[in-house]
Amino acid sequence: GAGVSQSPSNKVTEKGKDVELRCDPISGHTALYWYRQRLGQGLEFLIYFQGNSAPDKSGLPSDRFSAERTGESVSTLTIQRTQQEDSAVYLCASSLGRGRGVAGELFFGEGSRLTVL
Amino acid sequence: AQRVTQPEKLLSVFKGAPVELKCNYSYSGSPELFWYVQYSRQRLQLLLRHISRESIKGFTADLNKGETSFHLKKPFAQEEDSAMYYCALRRYGGSQGNLIFGKGTKLSVKP
């Protein structure tokens, strides 16, 4: 596709259930990021994938959160045993790589809005 | 620790007035700084980056290493500039690199 695609766009779940959020990056983009945006808050970094390097998981808030990426394509963010404080918009972004300049520009998806009841 | 601070959560100006959205950063290395913008019902997108030294939609931002600032400026605000603006710092080190965002400033331009 022409841009970063995320699904589902909206997800309502009950506390304690597991959820999976999917991100399709722009073809050819080796870097992929997940961010969380809580209501009224800024962007909170969660995890970063770059090619075949070990992912930077330093932003994951707890061990209930995990993410995978198959090669340089689709990524899935999984939240286990969801809590109400997990309610947020989860944004995915991709870029050409980690180099300076043009390659550093991030292209964002429209986000997945998660509501935990 | 690397940090990006946007002190104003909300900035409201009248059309035609100058606008300055503040951004300060802390980073021990050589930073790469960006401004991203999110218009209503649109995706977050890049507005400008400091290494390009460009003016986009009338906005400019100068990196001041002495003051560790990267303020976004426009001499005459327009209503269509109303949006959420995020300052971001890209750090490099080892095998990792990620973009750290500030909490954002909501700009409201009144007619």
pLDDT digits (tens, 9 = 90+) for A67-96: 999 888 899 999 999 999 999 999 999 988
Residue A50: band (very low, low, confident or very high) from pLDDT cuts 50, 70, 90: confident
Distance separating the N- and C-terminal Cα atoms of chain B: 41
Confidence tier at B99 by pLDDT (50, 70, 90): confident
User: Which of A81, A74, A35 is closest to A58 using CA atoms?
Assistant: A35
Q: Are B19 and B11 in contact (CB under 8 A)?
A: yes
The answer to whether B80 touches A21, Cβ cutoff 8 Å, is no
CA B11 to chain centre: 13
Q: Is A29 within 8 Å of A49 (Cβ atoms)?
A: no
Q: Specify whether the CB–CB gap between A72 and A53 falls below 8 A.
A: no
Banded pLDDT at A42 (limits 50, 70, 90)? confident
Greater model confidence, B4 or A105: B4
Tens digit of each residue's pLDDT (9 = 90 or more) over B60-81: 998 898 999 999 999 999 999 9
Ranking A26-30, A110-114, B80-84 by mean pLDDT, the lowest is A26-30
CB pair distance less than 8 Å for A43 and B98: no
Residue A40: pLDDT band by 50, 70, 90 thresholds?
Answer: confident
Interface of A with B (CB under 8 A): 3, 33, 35, 41-43, 45, 48, 50, 53-54, 56, 59, 91, 93, 98, 100-101, 104-110
- Rounded distance between C-alpha atoms, residue A35 and residue B58, angstroms: 29
Spell A80-92 as b/e; 16+ CB within 10 A means b.
eebeeebbbbbbb
**What's the mean per-residue pLDDT of chain A?**
90
Q: Are B98 and A110 within 8 A, CB to CB?
A: no
β-partners of residue B76 are none
Tens-place pLDDT, residues B10-40:
999 999 999 999 999 998 877 889 999 999 9
Q: What is the arithmetic mean of pLDDT over B84-110?
A: 81
Query: What was the pLDDT predicted at B96?
Result: 43
Please state the three-class secondary structure of A26-49 as a single string.
Answer: CCCCCEEEEEEECCCCCEEEEEEE
Kindly state the DSSP code that residue A15 receives in the 8-state scheme. T
Does residue B110 carry a pLDDT above 50? yes
Q: Closest Cα to residue B2, out of B98, B72, B103?
A: B98
Q: Write out pLDDT tens, residues B34-64.
A: 999 999 989 999 999 887 778 889 999 988 9
Environment class of residue B8 by beta-carbon count within 10 Å: exposed (0-12), middle (13-18) or buried (19+)?
Answer: middle
- Among candidates B86, B99, B104 on the partner chain, residue whose Cβ is nearest the Cβ of A33: B99
